[in-house]
Amino acid sequence: MTPTQKPIVILGIFVADTAYRADRQPKMGETIMGHSFVLGPGGKGSNQSVAAAMAGGNVHIITRLGDDAFADIARATWAKAGVKPEVKVDVESYTGAAYIFIEQATGNNAIIVAAGAAGRVSAEDVEAKADLVESAAIFITQLEQPIPATLRGLQIARAAGVTTILNPAPAAELPDSMLALCDFLTPNESEAEALTGLPVTSVEEARIAAAALLAKGVGAVIITLGENGALYHDATQSVHVPVVSAGAVVETTGAGDAFNGGFAVALSEGRNVIDAVRFGCATAGISVTRPGTAPAMPSRSEIDALLAL
């Protein structure tokens, strides 16, 4: 990162991840024994901030925290990665938390999020940071905070000519007017399906869904395909970028966040978009070989080394 590097500004939430590993999820009314428990940092916006900062970006996060021990985890996580917090402390709420079940045999996950203070992020909170958003190279947001804040951030960034990335997670119905503010939309298969009503179980089906999203006004679509890499699709090209493997998969929880953070950094450095997608895939490829979300994000040197192979 150079001192003159324009910032990557991320609007999103922090939650404390409470991660449980077990052979299966319990049925209603049932108690089962787990293999392990880990408390750590999470929230898509926070994870993407850490991924981008670790990958070499000049990163700011706009969010709300409570005034509690989980907020201390957020600040320590960002300080370690080099993320600059743009935080409103909400003493009337609490710092959010997430329950994460991880299936021992596969590393697949199921998640419940209670956003707390971050669930009260408002359009006014974003407007208070308008100068920062307008100064950015890239503005990234997701759908874990309230939609009005997400929409306002995209509007401010678009009006200033800032490149906009919306990671539409968790899946939600969005108006075409909001999608038209997105230079890049980065859904996974299930999110692309939710946005289009079309199945996404193959690269060809992903192309059809991506074309439907372009028709709604999105500039370009990147559908992340798990072990099949990612599909980049815009008005002039449709390119399948294979997974960049760094070893055996341990946990997939933060893979999408790793991709988005890495992609944003490469884009902010002026790489062509397909190279930026591959950089994002490499970032994700390393992250899934480690447990956890933010703690699994790779350094720039690790990403560069993997891409050099």
Q: What is the pLDDT of residues 300-309, one digit of tens each?
A: 999 999 999 9
What residues have CB less than 8 Å from 44, skipping those under 6 apart? 12, 13, 142, 144, 167, 169, 256, 257
260 lies in some domain: yes
Over pLDDT 70: what percentage of the chain?
Answer: 99
Residue with tokens 């200033």: 160
Number of domains in the chain: 1
Q: Which of 163, 133, 152, 6 is nearest to 61 (CA)?
A: 133
CATH number for the domain spanning 126: value is 3.40.1190.20
The pLDDT-based confidence of 168 (bands split at 50, 70, 90) is very high
111 lies in some domain: no
Which residues are annotated as catalytic? 257
Residue 4's pLDDT is 56
* Side chain identity at residue 123, one-letter code: A
151 lies in some domain: yes
Question: How far is it, in rounded angstroms, from Cα 130 to Cα 125?
Answer: 9
267 lies in some domain: yes
The pLDDT-based confidence of 3 (bands split at 50, 70, 90) is very low
Q: Which of 72, 41, 77, 40 is nearest to 59 (CA)?
A: 77
Domain holding 200, by residue range, is 8-12+43-92+119-307
C-beta separation of 57 from 280 below 8 A: no
For 75, counting Cβ atoms within 10 Å of its Cβ (0-12 exposed, 13-18 middle, 19+ buried), the class is: middle
Does the structure show a pLDDT above 60 at 2?
no
132 lies in some domain: yes
Average pLDDT on 81-103 reads 95
- Helix (H) or strand (E) holding 220, with range, is strand 220-224
DSSP-derived 3-state class of residue 165: strand
Give the helix ranges, DSSP H, for 226-272.
255-268
What residues have CB less than 8 Å from 42, skipping those under 6 apart? 14, 15, 16, 17, 98, 100, 254, 293, 294
21 lies in some domain: no
20 lies in some domain: no
107 lies in some domain: no
Give tens-digit pLDDT for 201-225: 999 999 999 999 999 999 999 999 9
Does the structure show a pLDDT above 90 at 255?
yes
Q: What is the mean pLDDT of the chain?
A: 95
